[in-house]
Amino acid sequence: MNAGKAKNNPSSKIVILDVAEDLFAVRGYRETTIADIAKQANMSAANLYRHFENKEDIAAACAHRCMERKNKALREVLDRKRLSAAERLEEFIVSLLRYTYEETQNRPKMNEMVEVVICCRPEMVHLMMSNLQSMIAEILAQGNAQKEFAVENVVAMAETVFASIVVFYTPLFMHLHPLPEFEHHARAMAELLLRGLTRR
Amino acid sequence: MNAGKAKNNPSSKIVILDVAEDLFAVRGYRETTIADIAKQANMSAANLYRHFENKEDIAAACAHRCMERKNKALREVLDRKRLSAAERLEEFIVSLLRYTYEETQNRPKMNEMVEVVICCRPEMVHLMMSNLQSMIAEILAQGNAQKEFAVENVVAMAETVFASIVVFYTPLFMHLHPLPEFEHHARAMAELLLRGLTRR
């Protein structure tokens, strides 16, 4: 009966993920054990295993939450004000960079978790990314509708644009430049992409 | 006298790097110790320390060699035949992808070494990347000279183009797609970039 209770208690799942996310991001995925997570979450390892099959499972759920937060933040940026499609695309790229940069600032081991998910659950990465790609597709469709852009296949082009800005949303790369320099690169990228997207 | 000999013997340095590169790429950077490398290279750890200060140093030297090989392979691609600047840029992107993809096929732990270098020696990454960026700058300058492209600042644009194709040369991402699908994405990227680079 206790097992059933634990399984149906969403808050204990959230506690596990909160704890695991902090441990993974600061101490590192590899250095964190299931026992560490259970201890910090004030529960037995047996109780924890009622919610998750293994550490990889917990990492996948954490990564999913991180992506949902990122999607939500970007959705707010996109909905904020009336902008041309070109302005919206530039703002989207810069916001994605800023969000990723800030997120990794106090989370030095963040990329270990990202790496585990990329290697072991690529299908999950594809799924999670599709949300950001849809936002780009939305911007491209707006640009087409307003005769700013001339994009034939909005979905395929959104995929290409998304791939071209991978350096701005991958935690691993956040070590490469200070933020202002990175922002400069992001704006230059937006300009190049916009030259390719706009009508001639 | 032995120490001096060892230090001046380039071949023992090469042996260390050959051994270390294999161990890092297959067993992994973290799982490989200095003692493992020395043993496999048939030398004492003390002898190895005459050439390298620590494991990070060896990883940096290995990464440097990998990049030199990649640069050489791409240089050959670029010099191979007479192409328009547009064709050359597309071939450059696809070759970079193929090289990275093949290199990571039998080297599952390759990205551990890459990660160490990105995190601990970002200045080395910048230096190593500059060679590839110069090749792109060369293509852009060719395109300008032949009136195919209209690029104002060749060096800055080469940096932006190079950043836009990061997904095609980072070992970590090679898990995401099978090669033919990846190649399709690379060609779509080349097309988008070329739309941005060509004269109107």
Residue A58 domain-assigned?
A: no
pLDDT in tens, B27-69: 999 999 999 999 999 999 999 999 999 999 999 999 889 888 9
Domain identity same for B42 and B74: no
Q: If you ran DSSP here, which 8-state letter would residue B108 be given?
A: T
| pLDDT, tens digit, 9 for 90 and up, residues A88-98 | 999 999 999 99
User: Do B76 and B42 reside in the same domain of the chain?
Assistant: no
From residue A153, give the alpha-carbon distance in Å to each of A136, A156, A160, A194.
12, 6, 11, 16
The residue range of the domain holding A37 is 1-52
B164 CB neighbours in chain A (<8 A) are 164-165, 167, 189, 192-193
Q: List the 141-180 stretch of B: residues with Cβ below 8 A of A.
A: 156-157, 159-161, 163-167, 172-173, 175-176
For chain A positions 96-115, those within 8 Å of chain B (CB to CB) are 111, 115
Same domain, B109 and B89: yes
**B59 within some domain:** no
Token digits of residue B79: 């010099």
pLDDT, residue B8, reads 53
pLDDT for residue A3: 45
Note whether A113 and A41 are same-domain residues. no
Site of tokens 């006298």: B1
Is A14 part of any domain? yes
**Same structural domain, A81 and A32:** no
From first to last of the 200 residues of chain B, give the pLDDT tens digit.
Answer: 444 444 556 688 999 999 999 999 999 999 999 999 999 999 999 999 999 999 999 999 998 898 889 889 999 888 877 899 999 999 999 999 999 999 888 888 888 888 888 878 877 788 778 889 999 999 999 999 999 999 999 999 999 999 999 999 988 888 888 999 999 999 999 999 999 998 77
The domain total for chain B is 2
Kindly state whether residues B37 and B106 are assigned to the same domain: no
Residues B42, B29: Cα–Cα separation, whole Å: 19
Query: Is B195 in Cβ contact with A195 (below 8 Å)?
Result: yes
Kindly state whether residue B57 falls inside one of the protein's structural domains. Answer: no
Mean pLDDT along residues A153-178: 92
**∠ at Cα A59 (A56, A65), nearest 5°?**
145
Domain harbouring A177, CATH code: 1.10.357.10
Measure B156 CA to nearest chain A CA, in Å.
9
What CATH number is attached to the domain comprising B189? 1.10.357
Give residue A188's pLDDT band: very low, low, confident or very high (50, 70, 90): very high
B119 in contact with chain A, both atoms CB, cutoff 8 A: yes
Q: State both tokens at B155.
A: 């060096």
Kindly report the CATH number assigned to the domain that includes residue A40: 1.10.10.60
Query: Are residues A106 and A12 part of one domain?
Result: no
Residue B167 domain flag: yes
The reply to whether B123 and B31 lie within a common domain is no
Judge if B35 and B115 occupy the same domain: no
Among B154, B161, B192, the strongest candidate for a mutation testing the A interface, having the largest count of A CBs within 10 A, is B192
Q: How would you class A149 by CB atoms within 10 Å of its CB: exposed for 0-12, middle for 13-18, buried for 19 or more? A: buried
Alpha helices by DSSP H, listed for A150-197, are: 154-164, 179-197
Structural domain contains residue B104: yes
Q: Are residues B13 and B109 in the same domain?
A: no
Whether residue A118 lies within 8 A of chain B, CB to CB, comes out as yes
